[in-house]
Amino acid sequence: MAKKHYSIGLWNMKTMFHCSVVMFLVGGLATLIFYRNNNQEAINSNATVILVSMNTSMPTTENKSVDTNTITDTNTNTRVFDHQRRLKIAPPTLTDTCDLFSGRWIHDNKSHYPLYKEEECPYLNADLACLTYGRKDSKYQQWRWQPHGCDFPKFDGKAIVEKLKGKRLLFVGDSVNRNQWDSMMCMLHSSIPGKKKLNMGGLNRTLYSFRSIEYNISIDYYWAPMLVESNGDDPSNHRLDHRTIRINAIEKHARHWVDADILIFNTYLWWRLPIIKFLKSAGSLLGGPNQVYDEVNNVHAYKKVLEVWSKWVHIHIDPSKTKMFFMGLTATHSSAKDWGGKKYGTCYKETEPVMDEGFWESGTNPKMLHILESSLRKLKAKGVNVQLINITQLTQCRKDAHPTVHRKLWVPFTDAQKKNPERASDCTHWCLPGVPDIWNELLLAHIFPVTETGNLYKQR
């Protein structure tokens, strides 16, 4: 009996052994199939997707030069980036946890402002050099922007220059964006070693370029006041009493933007006239005779152009390679009645800010700000993050910071203007050093975000 029981136990052991071998082989085969399928799915998810029409032949695998991160439409020859796949969850930064645009102005003559001196910036536009052209007070340079409940890092030019090595930073828009470009050059030039070049005449005078040879940094500005083609596209000759645009024609300008690493857009001032003309005939000259056009309300026109711009950005800009920003609307202090001044007064001779944090001047249309915010939200929902640098409220109070008559006069004042300098005052642009330096500090805090313990900048 003992032998019988032994033989049965031996058979069971053999059976268990064979079963184990079979199970091992089956399990290994299943695992191999699982990983093979998963790898194939991963390969497929990174593959180029070709959109073809019914009358287009299927593509072959011979085209090895196509960017595998794009979707190519063979009918339009345009790139559509897979934006949603690029969204990543990043740790919170200072700009995520703090609203840098909600705050107040504090006079601080012991702070580090101004960030540079007017006479020390060889690139400063004479239209903005207020002390050089006769302004006597300089208090406007000493105001510090203080966000509520938090702070933004103190500007450190050398740290920023190191981060900008090999990059092209491009401002695109109207003369206020050029104002900001001038500010950025003046803020950084003394921290950039070696040879630097300034070219003001590129692309029929629409491209202004400041370059560092040693660090391969480009800080550029492109004149496109309405983003699309307009009768104001000549940066030297655009004093017009009407606005005419080709609403869907953005490529003429935009093809010069695609290689930038950092893009900063703005457009607003040129949309304030109540009527915008949409040119209907493709062959008509902008500003020429016998034009056929539709007259469109400026608010609707502003919304339409941002739709055109958004579509271009979504198709042509890869947000994993290019950071994008849109500057908010800026105040134009042309009516002193807004702050309790005299009936026909302007910003002329104003030397103090408005201290009411909620002040809103009559030249800034909140509907257009809402349209801009909505446009950027829609882009973000598609996976394209264009950050709003919302300087609108902080510019409202700074009626003291404009050039007025203290600027280079390219055309001498008439006798009538001499008698009424208030009406001849520039209350749109900003003296430098001054308010645009704050815009750039806020912009740089978003371009190079850091955690609250980060050390990219010196803390205040």
- Residue 244 host element (H or E): strand 244-245
Task: Report long-range pairs for 156-159 (Cβ below 8 Å, ≥24 apart).
Answer: 156/456, 156/457, 156/458, 157/187, 157/188, 157/190, 157/191, 158/191, 159/456, 159/457, 159/458
SS3 52: coil
- Residue 71 host element (H or E): strand 70-73
Active site residue 175: yes
Nearest to 439 by CA among 391, 400, 402, 398: 391
One DSSP character per residue, 391-404 reads -HHHHHT-TT-S-B
**Choosing from 127, 182, 426, 437, which is the catalytic residue?**
426
Active site residue 65: no
Angle at 25 between CA 21 and CA 26, to 5 degrees: 115
d(CA 331, CA 269): 9
**Choosing from 83, 127, 174, 175, which is the catalytic residue?**
175
- Residue 305 host element (H or E): helix 298-316
The answer to whether 70 touches 48, Cβ cutoff 8 Å, is yes
**Choosing from 182, 253, 429, 437, which is the catalytic residue?**
429
Active site residue 236: no
- Residue 217 host element (H or E): strand 217-223
Quick one: tokens of 146? 């203080």
CA of residue 242 relative to chain centroid, distance: 27
Name the phi and psi angles at 147, rounded to 5.
-65, 155
The answer to whether 191 touches 271, Cβ cutoff 8 Å, is no
Active site residues: 175, 426, 429
